[in-house]
Homo-oligomer: A and B are copies of this chain.
Amino acid sequence: MNQNNKKKYTIKEIIKKIDGVYDGKLPLDHQISGVSSIENNTPNKVTFAENKKFVKKAAEQADGLVLINKNFGETDIKNPLKVEDTRFSYVKVAKLFAPIPYYKPGINDRAIIEDSVSLGDNVSIHSNTYIGENSKLGDNVVIAPGVKIAENTKIGANTVLHPNVVIERDCKLGSNVIVEAGTVIGSEGYGYITREGKHYHIPQLGNVIVEDNVEIGASVTIDRGTQSATMIGEGTKIDNQVQVGHNVKIGKYCLLVGQVGIGGSTVLGHNVIVAGQSGISDHVQLGNNVKVGAGSIVTSDITADSFYLGNPAQDRMKELKIRVLRKKLPEYWKEIKNLKKS
């Protein structure tokens, strides 16, 4: 695998990017071309060592640049670069070398782009794509093969849509948004009115607004609002196969882990974390910083800063206590029997 892009940075440039202190043998103008694990490190790669064990390993095996914490003092690492926050610095460096998927400025002649579409500079639009009337794409937008974008949408600068993503009409995506393959944004909300046993669809006339720096996994579905917008707040990260119902408002910097479902009109505050496979009922409110453990079903409001768990979900410490006691039910039964005897 060669997962690094073709960019190169000198050690000096990297030091500047992550504000590190360098004390190694390789010269400052030595060029670095990517990141690696410790065992695969070579003179032109960067790796990192977070604890004593890895520092020892890096001293033995790493011939390239090694990020370590500034408090480590003397080590036998050949080319240590001391930083405040080892892992975060590594992520920043890895990002420098990470490829932008499907980045290939220009418009493929098998793309279908309606006349009224407005395109920013430097867009990459691949084959078998469709962009509907009156849609606007910002600078550097990447539209991978097979993406379909309906009319009257807006895609912000630097946003990347992976293959076969579908953006339905009127939806707005901010800048620096990433949407993984097969995801659908703006599907019709599940709104019905039932009369004499038959269900009549309520036309969903709203849209979806995805703010800047949101990242959305593969095969996610986000429904359009009934009258207004379904909102995904800035910096929120959504894992694969998450379902977001119509009219939902999700705050900033939330994490929705794989296969989570959010019922219609539910509101999540900022920094909310919902662990895998949990479901939140429709029309409930979760305050800021709420956490929900994996496999939970939330059926009512949760106040800010709470950690909930269970089906139905309750305060996590209470739920954990009850889970312990539930396992003791056979003992209870015995105790009760014994008590009855005596």
Secondary structure at chain A's binding surface: helix, strand, loop or mixed?
Answer: loop
Contacts of A329 in B (CB 8 A): 322, 325-326
Complex Cα distance A249/B324, Å?
Answer: 31
* Contact assessment for B128 and A227 in the assembled complex, using a CB-CB cutoff below 8 Å: no
A211-239 interface code vs B (CB 8 A; 1 in, 0 out) = 00001011101010001000000010101
How far is the CB of A198 from the nearest CB of chain B, in Å?
A: 6
A156 within 8 A of B: no
A144 within 8 A of B: yes
* Contact assessment for A203 and B94 in the assembled complex, using a CB-CB cutoff below 8 Å: yes
Interface size range of chain A in the complex = 35 or more
* Contact assessment for A325 and B336 in the assembled complex, using a CB-CB cutoff below 8 Å: no
Contacts of A335 in B (CB 8 A): 336, 340
Complex Cα distance A188/B259, Å?
Answer: 15
A279 within 8 A of B: yes
* Contact assessment for A1 and B207 in the assembled complex, using a CB-CB cutoff below 8 Å: yes
In the complex formed, the residue of B with least CB distance to A245 is: B258
* Cβ-defined partner of A218 (8 Å) among B127, B221, B322, B340: B221
- Of A21-29, A57-65, A159-167, the one contacting chain B is A159-167
* Contact assessment for B330 and A98 in the assembled complex, using a CB-CB cutoff below 8 Å: no
Contacts of A202 in B (CB 8 A): 91, 94
How far is the CB of A108 from the nearest CB of chain B, in Å?
A: 8
Complex Cα distance A148/B98, Å?
Answer: 21
* Cβ-defined partner of A128 (8 Å) among B2, B128, B235, B241: B128
* Contact assessment for A184 and B218 in the assembled complex, using a CB-CB cutoff below 8 Å: yes
Complex Cα distance A197/B251, Å?
Answer: 13
Q: Beyond the given A1-B207, A188-B217, A336-B339, could you list 18 further A-B residue pairs with CB under 8 A, ordered by the A residue number?
A: A88-B200, A94-B203, A98-B205, A101-B168, A101-B169, A112-B127, A128-B128, A130-B146, A148-B163, A162-B166, A168-B181, A182-B183, A182-B221, A219-B221, A259-B259, A312-B323, A314-B327, A332-B336
